[in-house]
């Protein structure tokens, strides 16, 4: 049982590292400090996009651990981190592509306080990219 608890803690720490990496990446792609936009300025758009990003990264980590767990904890952790980093990169690419092909600035919309349909599209893109990564793992 202790071994399983240790593995769970290691997988969770890897997941937390991926979530932090995803947050930092989105912070770099949006104007201002993303944490302040969400918690101080109460930007629903930023929270929606980051929430979708987190759900997607969680799904990637789950799928990777589920499909590679029998390979041993070291291999499963390596696969989880590799596919998690790929997920973060592809989510960032999808955000930048949407920013480039939509009118206005998705970067600016992402941190507005009032809900904007563009944030729903960006959040959906985060989830869709994550689902594609999950499908490639399974």
Contact criterion met (CB below 8 Å) for 115 and 45: yes
pLDDT at 110 over 90: yes
Structure pTM? 0.93
- Among residues 80, 105, 66, 103, the alpha carbon closest in space to that of 16 is found at 80
Q: How far apart are CA 107 and CA 100, in angstroms?
A: 10
Q: What are the tens digits of pLDDT across the range 46-84?
A: 999 999 999 999 999 999 999 998 888 899 999 999 999
- Among residues 50, 10, 16, the alpha carbon closest in space to that of 34 is found at 50
Q: How far apart are CA 49 and CA 78, in angstroms?
A: 27
Q: How far apart are CA 28 and CA 12, in angstroms?
A: 24
Q: How far apart are CA 52 and CA 63, in angstroms?
A: 16
Q: What are the tens digits of pLDDT across the range 6-58?
A: 989 999 999 999 999 999 999 999 999 999 999 999 999 999 999 999 999 99
């Amino acid at each position: 049982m202790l071994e399983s608890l240790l593995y769970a803690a290691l997988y969770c720490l890897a997941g937390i590292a991926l979530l932090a990496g995803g947050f930092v990446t989105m912070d770099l792609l949006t104007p201002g400090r993303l944490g302040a936009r969400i918690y101080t300025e109460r930007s629903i758009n930023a929270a929606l996009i980051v929430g979708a990003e987190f759900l997607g990264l969680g799904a990637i980590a789950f799928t990777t651990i589920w499909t590679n767990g029998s390979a041993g904890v070291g291999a499963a952790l390596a696969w989880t981190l590799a596919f998690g980093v790929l997920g973060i990169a592809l989510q960032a690419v999808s955000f930048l592509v949407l920013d480039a092909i939509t009118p206005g600035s998705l970067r600016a919309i992402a941190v507005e306080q009032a809900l904007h349909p563009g944030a729903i599209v960006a959040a959906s893109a985060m989830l869709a990219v994550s689902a594609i990564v999950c499908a490639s793992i399974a």
